[in-house]
Structure 1
Amino acid sequence: MKIAILGWGSLIWQPKDLAFNKEFGWKPDGPILPIEFARISNDGRLTLVITEKGTEITTLYALSNYHDLHEAIFNLAVREGSGKKSIGYYDKNNNAFFSTNLNIKSNIEKWIEQTDFDAVIWTDLPEKLESKDPLEYLKSLTGNKSALAEEYIRRTPIQIKTALRTKIEKELNWKLIE
């Protein structure tokens, strides 16, 4: 089984123990998904997630070193520090789809049909903003939390140009680190 791993944030520039084919690398023409900075992580960073309020973005993808879907899901869950229920997947051969974001299924199916992948997996964490204005939240951060939040946004791949990223670049001058 050939498995793709979707990415749009720190997975790209900080894969840690993610088992993916380094020679294949990260390709810039993954499925189009609604992505936005809409989750406050445990360390205070404002991170990217799939959300109905997101900007339609062409994601990136890599080739998993695993050929078993459950092993690939487990590997991504360990990298993300989450449970397996926080990993979305689509198995083309069995038409099995799992995600909290049901509105993305057709985009995933359309993309995978144009590839030779048998399955695709992605981080499927929900929004978590606690009714905060994301820009005001970023402005309120200090010290290490501010540095981590800035690094995350500035190291996010250039093609992940969300509506909020445009505002952050303009108002906070947190531009891409090249």
Structure 2
Amino acid sequence: MKIACLGWGSLIWKPGRLPVAWGWKEDGPQVPIEFSRVSDGGELATVISLNATPVPVFWAWLDVDRLDVACDALREREGIPAERCDGIGSLLIHNAPGGMLNDWARERDIDALIWTGLPPRSDSIEGRVPSVTEAILYLDSLAGETREHARDYFQRVPSQIDTPYRRAIKHGLGWD
């Protein structure tokens, strides 16, 4: 089975033990991504946010041949507890109904596709998307190492993940 993983944040520059076979490719599908999850490290992480504008994400082949092994590797890398299955998304292509991700994967001869499926989070509420103003105020309220970590994360997210929040944060905080 040929399995690939989608990525749009730190997974790209810090895959950890995720068995990425040949590096990340830039021609991924369009996915609605936004800087809308206050993560445990303090950064405003990129996640799938259904009302966001779709942007082209990255993808990579995984050096595994079983979907459960691929999902476990991604869950471990992301620090998602095994009992929380909703933190990983997957699509078994040959059984999936038609759709943009399915069509994109079929064009690349991918049998299964996985991604991190954590929801937006703001004010400690899972699923809550901060407004762009709240996002800027949150980041601007950070200090010291937490602020530096958040800024580093923001700057390392590949420029093709060009979202409205990214542009507003650049303008509002001067983060390039």
The two structures share one fold, judged by TM-score above 0.5: yes
Aligned to 1:123: 116
4+ residue runs of structure 1 moved beyond 6 angstroms? Answer: none
Give the CA deviation at 1:106: 2.4
RMSD: 1.5
Partners of 1:160 and 1:82 in 2: CA distance? 23
Partners of 2:38 and 2:161 in 1: CA distance? 18
Give the CA deviation at 1:114: 1.2
Aligned to 1:7: 7
Give a deviation string over 1:108-161, Cα, whole Å, max 9, x none: 112112111101000000110126511100000001110111011000011000
Give a deviation string over 1:38-58, Cα, whole Å, max 9, x none: 100111110000012212101
Alignment partner of 1:82 is 2:80: yes
Aligned to 1:153: 154
Partners of 1:173 and 1:15 in 2: CA distance? 28
- The question of whether the paired residues in 1 share the 8 Å contact of 2:96 and 2:102 is answered with no
Aligned to 2:168: 167
Aligned to 2:27: 29
Aligned to 1:68: 66
Q: How many residues align?
A: 165
TM-score, length-scaled by structure 2: 0.89
TM-score, length-scaled by structure 1: 0.88
- The question of whether the paired residues in 2 share the 8 Å contact of 1:36 and 1:54 is answered with yes
Mark the CA change 1:91 to 1:124 in structure 2 (over 3 Å): closer, same or farther.
Answer: same
Q: Structure 1, unaligned stretches of length 5 or more?
A: 97-104
Give the CA deviation at 1:172: 1.3
- The question of whether the paired residues in 2 share the 8 Å contact of 1:33 and 1:107 is answered with no
Aligned residue for 2:91, secondary structure, equals strand
Give a deviation string over 1:29-74, Cα, whole Å, max 9, x none: 1111100011001111100000122121011001101110000000
Aligned to 1:100: none
Partners of 1:167 and 1:4 in 2: CA distance? 32
Paired residue type of 1:152? Y
- The question of whether the paired residues in 2 share the 8 Å contact of 1:36 and 1:53 is answered with no
Q: Structure 2, unaligned stretches of length 5 or more?
A: none
Partners of 2:122 and 2:70 in 1: CA distance? 29
Partners of 2:19 and 2:50 in 1: CA distance? 29
